[in-house]
Amino acid sequence: MNSGKDDKRRTFQQLNLLSAGLMFPVSIVIGYGMGYYLDKWLGTSFLKIVFLLFGIAAGFVSFFRTISQLGKDQ
């Protein structure tokens, strides 16, 4: 009976790792995209870099939260 529970837990951990791995590049793309469109709308040229940095920071925070949560679960 425990092997079924262990299999479910392992599957859940693998899905969390997958989501952590995908969240980082998605955050970067979303941050850059927001900056790009704001630059076009406002006629500026620096917001893509600012929002790219925000996206990188958000990706790191999300990644480390997920990894630390997995460490607590084990």
DSSP states of 12-23: HHHHHHHHHHHH
Rounded Cα–Cα distance for residues 62 and 60 (Å):
5
Q: Are 33 and 13 in contact (CB under 8 A)?
A: no
Local structure of 17: helix, strand or coil: helix
10 Å Cβ neighbour count for 47? 18
Q: Which two tokens stand for residue 29?
A: 């793309």
Local structure of 1: helix, strand or coil: coil
Question: What is the tally of structural domains in the chain?
Answer: 1
* Domain, as residue range, for 69: 2-73
Q: Could you read off the pLDDT of 30-60 as tens digits, one per residue?
A: 999 999 999 999 999 999 999 999 999 999 9
Q: Could you read off the pLDDT of 57-72 as tens digits, one per residue?
A: 999 998 888 878 777 7
Reported as a pLDDT band with limits 50, 70 and 90, residue 74 is low
